[in-house]
């Protein structure tokens, strides 16, 4: 009998512990968020010291925390960007606290709802950030001095649909084009193709030689087909902004010849891709190129820094070839990253000072050089030391810029336009559907929910 | 009999039963039953565009099953999921049974080694399995093509994971490879618990190995066959990780590997530019729950209740 009581007592004890465990769980999940900032000051220490030496504690020090998904850039922010900012504002301590790219949106939403988010928020383009602004989490930046350093295309990703409120300072864009292996081009006596016909002549020569994969792209991950394929070469066909805005206004359709022509070009890529490209993933493509086994890589400019690190041959870049008879060229200069202010920050003045500094030519030059392939959206003239990155950015002077046509407004409904573009573009390259079928499927999907169409 | 009369004699309140059940019940209610009911509740709501959710009854379910865009994805995912399940059912489980039968042979040399090796993949992380098989089957650096070349069938090599016709079957077989240890172990445990006397008696009557297996052993492990079947069913309709690892949330090419798990993930959490839709996601989750529930109910009433359990 006494044994029974003892056991019962033990069980109750366990129960009580379990209940306590349940109660403490939410606190335990909070803890990492709190440790995040405490880790960073230790690393930011060196930047603090010179600042204090300059201006000995005359005013109170304020700490700003930046939310970001660019955890690859942690070192650049800590060693280059923040120290440069502190030269002007020694009393504002800035902590760059990134989370993993795939978790960023969810983590940021949770932090904003819980009131624990940082003072400065790195903005994803278009709807993700617009939703944050609509919910009142991002402050309007209309009256921020320096915002006129940015053009309309640059601001288009962080503005309300009616164009009345800007809520993030544009930081950088990525540009599409083709990166090629200069050694292979020299060996085969090739030169950069300017037109579509030249492009296919170059591919034919490489294929005939047989030692290298002419065009390095796979369709396993699907997005390259749309992003590095469709959105890369497409602006030349749909005339950049004219076509993009035409789609939004409903005056153009994906079934129009200028869109079908893009898929027709993509279908022609098929024989020049590597054997088994249907199962070739994005890292496979990157490796194939940096190992020197492929000649031409349909690229996003963000690939430059990886190739700089891994490839031991000289690279060059050419812009998307123009179709026969075209008199002007267009490039995808896609707005990718910006920064806004948490509407509930405790230090709005200091946060605005930081954002104001982001609009300066100094930051534009600093950022573009620290991260070759991410180009400042500022109107200021920026000198980039990396030759390949400089080639990309030069195209801005030769061609008209546009952004990916699926990003603004058109990807709000079901089925999601961007995801659908991935799917059909991959299928067109695989040869499973015709360009006309692809266009019809995309247009049907858009028709089902987008009324201007 | 003794227990029964003891109960009748004096009947104090069974405090200890409540105490013993309480922790599991509380934890289960808190972490399983409550979230499940809340998720079912969420599936009856829809966002009204002002940040709040309004009650819409079964509208989400009607959309899911009748709207052209939604239903195409839903039925596609369900069909793929059934194919995924059937491959497990008719490849994984028979082969698992065969391996268990071989392992339970008395004359087998190094049984422990085989058992461990065959069970090993089950203990690997799905992410690692997905990654390794992607590399093995890679048309660029994979060993599959050269191994096939060694036996003269390199021409048959295809980028299976990238082809609409073969991607789902390939992934199902990778999953079979990984999880074959589980039915094998369950069958093995059932087989070795069969008393020797039964088998000896059959042999005295002149039964061959084949007859002994199908007439004595198999009927005795039928309950295990049922358990393995329902475990496979539940596991496959909850599957997600391998597809997500190997093909991403868009389950390409052309949704040919899209199963209920990846469909739910895309709907609930969103993907790339597609924003998450929690209410529709909850609806998909409820449908998954319903499908699994139907399977379990069919198993309980159609199989378990009718089973003759041989006492051994």
Alpha-carbon span A291 to B141, nearest angstrom: 12
Residue of A nearest to B277 (CA): A414
The interface predicted TM-score (ipTM) is: 0.83
* CATH for A182: 3.40.190.10
Residue A3 lies in a domain: no
Are A108 and A57 members of one domain? yes
Best residue of A220, A289, A408, A429 to probe chain B, by most B CBs closer than 10 Å = A220
Q: What share of chain A in percent tops pLDDT 70? A: 87
Indicate whether A208 and A65 sit together in one domain.
no
A253, A307: one domain: yes
| Minimum-distance CB partner of A11 among B19, B30, B138 | B19
For chain B, domains (ranges, CATH) are: 53-304 (1.10.3720.10)
| Domain of A229, in residue numbers | 174-334+394-447
Assess whether A345 and A418 both reside in one domain.
no
Q: Do A382 and A432 sit in the same domain of this protein?
A: no
Per-residue pLDDT of chain B in tens (312 residues, 90 and over written 9): 455 555 556 778 888 999 999 999 999 999 999 999 999 999 999 987 666 788 999 999 999 999 888 999 999 999 999 999 999 999 999 999 999 999 998 788 888 899 999 999 999 999 999 999 999 999 999 999 999 999 989 889 999 999 999 999 999 999 999 999 999 999 999 999 999 999 999 999 999 989 999 999 999 999 999 999 999 999 999 999 999 999 988 888 999 999 999 999 999 888 877 877 889 999 999 999 999 999 999 999 888 877 766 665
B48 touches chain A (CB under 8 A): no
- Taking alpha carbons only, the member of A394, A376, A320, A385 closest to residue A173 is A376
Our count of domains for chain A comes to 2
Question: Is A2 inside any structural domain?
Answer: no
Nearest to B103 by CA among B224, B184, B203: B184
CA distance A15 to chain B (A): 6
Pairwise CB contact (< 8 Å): A419 & B250: yes
Same domain, A166 and A78: yes
Query: Does B271 sit within 8 Å of A275, measured CB to CB?
Result: no
Residue A27 lies in a domain: no
Last residue of a domain, one of A356, A373, A388: A388
Beta carbons within 10 angstroms of residue A355's beta carbon: 22
The verdict on residue A281 lying in a domain is yes
Per-residue DSSP letter, A213: E
Report the alpha-carbon distance of residue B195 to residue B311 in Å, rounded: 11
Residue A204 contacts B, CB cutoff 8 Å: no
> With contacts defined as CB-CB under 8 Å, which chain B residues touch A126?
273
Whether residues A180 and A160 fall in one domain? no
Q: Given A18, A278, A407, which is nearest B253 (Cβ)?
A: A278
User: Is A154 found in the same domain as A99?
Assistant: yes
DSSP code string of B91-143: IIHHHHHHHHHHHT-TT-TTHHHHHHHHHHHHHS-HHHHHHHHHHHH-TTT-S
Residues A49 and A110 occupy one common structural domain? yes
Beta bridge partners of B270: B275
A422–B contact, CB cutoff 8 A: yes
Beta-carbon separation of B271 and A12 below 8 A: no
CB contact under 8 A, B275 and A131: yes
Contacts of B46 in chain A (CB under 8 A): none
Does a structural domain hold residue A298? Answer: yes
- Does the residue A95 lie in any domain? yes
Q: Do A328 and A365 fall into the same domain?
A: no
Q: Are residues A109 and A68 in the same domain?
A: yes
Which pLDDT value is given to residue B53? Answer: 84
What is the secondary structure of B260-304 as a DSSP string? HHHHHHHHHHEETTEEP-HHHHHHHHHHHHHHHHHHHHHHIIIII
Domain endpoint, select from A364, A388, A412: A388
Q: Which of B25, B66, B58, B63 is nearest to B41 (CA)?
A: B58
**A26 lies in some domain:** no
Whether A443 contacts A255, CB under 8 Å: yes
Contact residues on chain A for B273, CB-CB shorter than 8 A:
126-127, 406-407, 411, 416-419
Q: Domain ends where: A348, A369, A388?
A: A388
A427 in any annotated domain = yes
Instruction: Determine how many CB atoms are found less than 10 A away from the CB of residue B206.
Output: 7
User: Do A290 and A178 have their domain in common?
Assistant: yes
């Amino acid at each position: 009998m006494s044994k029974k009581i003892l056991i019962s007592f033990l069980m109750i004890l366990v129960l009580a512990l379990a209940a306590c465990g349940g109660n403490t769980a939410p606190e335990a999940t909070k803890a990492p968020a709190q440790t995040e900032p405490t880790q960073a000051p230790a690393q930011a220490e060196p930047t603090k010291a010179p600042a204090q030496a300059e201006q000995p504690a005359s005013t109170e020090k304020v700490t700003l925390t930046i939310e970001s998904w660019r955890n690859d850039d942690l070192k650049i922010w800590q060693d280059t960007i923040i120290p440069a900012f502190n030269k002007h504002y020694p009393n504002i301590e800035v902590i760059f606290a990134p989370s993993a790219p795939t978790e960023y949106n969810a983590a940021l939403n949770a932090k904003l709802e819980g009131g624990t988010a940082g003072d400065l928020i790195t903005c994803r383009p278009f709807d993700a950030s617009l939703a944050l602004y609509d919910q009142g989490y991002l402050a309007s930046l209309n009256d921020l001095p320096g915002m006129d350093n940015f053009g309309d295309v640059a601001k288009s990703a962080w503005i309300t649909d009616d164009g009345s409120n800007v809520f993030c300072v544009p930081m950088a864009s990525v540009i599409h084009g083709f990166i090629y292996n200069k050694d292979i081009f020299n060996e085969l006596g090739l030169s950069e193709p300017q037109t579509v016909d030249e492009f296919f002549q170059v591919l034919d020569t490489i294929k005939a030689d047989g030692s290298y994969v002419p065009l390095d792209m796979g369709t396993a991950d699907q997005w390259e087909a749309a992003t590095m394929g469709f959105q890369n070469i497409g602006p030349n066909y749909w005339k950049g902004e004219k076509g993009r805005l035409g789609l939004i206004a409903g005056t153009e359709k994906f079934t129009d010849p200028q869109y079908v022509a893009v898929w027709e070009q993509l279908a022609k890529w098929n024989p020049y891709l590597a054997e088994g490209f249907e199962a070739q993933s994005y890292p496979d493509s990157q490796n194939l190129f940096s190992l020197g086994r492929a000649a031409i890589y349909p690229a996003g400019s963000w690939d430059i820094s990886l190739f700089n690190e891994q490839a031991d041959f000289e690279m060059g870049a050419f812009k998307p070839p123009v179709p026969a008879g075209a008199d002007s060229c267009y490039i995808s200069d896609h707005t990718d990253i910006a920064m806004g202010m948490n509407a509930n920050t405790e230090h709005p003045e200091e946060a605005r000072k930081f954002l104001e500094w982001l609009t300066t030519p100094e930051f534009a030059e600093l950022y573009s050089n620290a991260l070759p392939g991410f180009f400042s959206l500022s109107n200021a003239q920026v000198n980039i030391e990396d030759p390949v990155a400089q080639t990309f950015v030069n195209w801005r002077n030769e061609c008209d810029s546009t952004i990916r046509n699926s990003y603004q407004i058109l990807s709000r409904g079901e089925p999601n336009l961007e995801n659908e573009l991935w799917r059909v573009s991959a299928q067109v390259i695989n040869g499973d559907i015709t360009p006309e079928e692809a266009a019809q499927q995309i247009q049907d999907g858009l028709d089902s929910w987008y009324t201007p169409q | 009999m003794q227990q029964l009369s003891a109960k009748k004699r004096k009947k104090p309140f069974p405090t200890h039963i409540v105490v013993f059940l309480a922790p599991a019940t509380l934890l289960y209610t808190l972490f399983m039953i409550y979230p499940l009911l809340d998720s079912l509740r969420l599936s009856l709501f829809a966002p009204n565009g002002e940040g709040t959710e309004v009650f819409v009854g079964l509208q989400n379910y009607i959309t899911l099953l009748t709207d052209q865009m939604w239903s195409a994805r839903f039925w596609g995912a369900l069909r793929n999921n059934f194919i995924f399940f059937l491959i497990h059912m008719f490849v994984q489980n028979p082969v698992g049974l065969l391996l268990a039968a071989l392992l339970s042979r008395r004359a087998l040399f190094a049984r422990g080694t085989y058992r461990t090796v065959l069970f090993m993949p089950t203990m690997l992380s799905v992410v690692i399995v997905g990654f390794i098989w992607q590399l093995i089957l890679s048309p660029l650096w994979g060993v599959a093509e050269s191994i096939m070349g060694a036996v003269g069938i390199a021409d048959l090599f295809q980028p299976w994971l990238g082809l609409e016709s073969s991607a789902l079957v390939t992934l199902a077989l990778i999953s079979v490879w990984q999880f074959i240890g589980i039915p094998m172990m369950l069958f093995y445990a059932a087989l070795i618990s069969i008393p020797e006397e039964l088998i000896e008696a059959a042999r005295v009557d002149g039964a061959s190995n084949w007859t002994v297996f199908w007439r004595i052993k198999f009927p005795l492990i039928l309950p295990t066959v049922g358990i393995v079947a329902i475990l496979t069913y539940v596991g496959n309709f909850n599957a997600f990780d391998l597809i997500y690892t190997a093909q991403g949330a868009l389950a390409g090419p052309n949704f040919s590997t899209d199963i209920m798990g990846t469909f739910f993930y895309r709907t609930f959490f969103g993907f790339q530019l597609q924003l998450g839709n929690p209410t529709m996601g909850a609806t998909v989750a409820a449908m998954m729950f319903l499908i699994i529930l139907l399977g379990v109910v069919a198993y309980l009433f159609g199989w378990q209740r009718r089973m003759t359990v041989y006492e051994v």
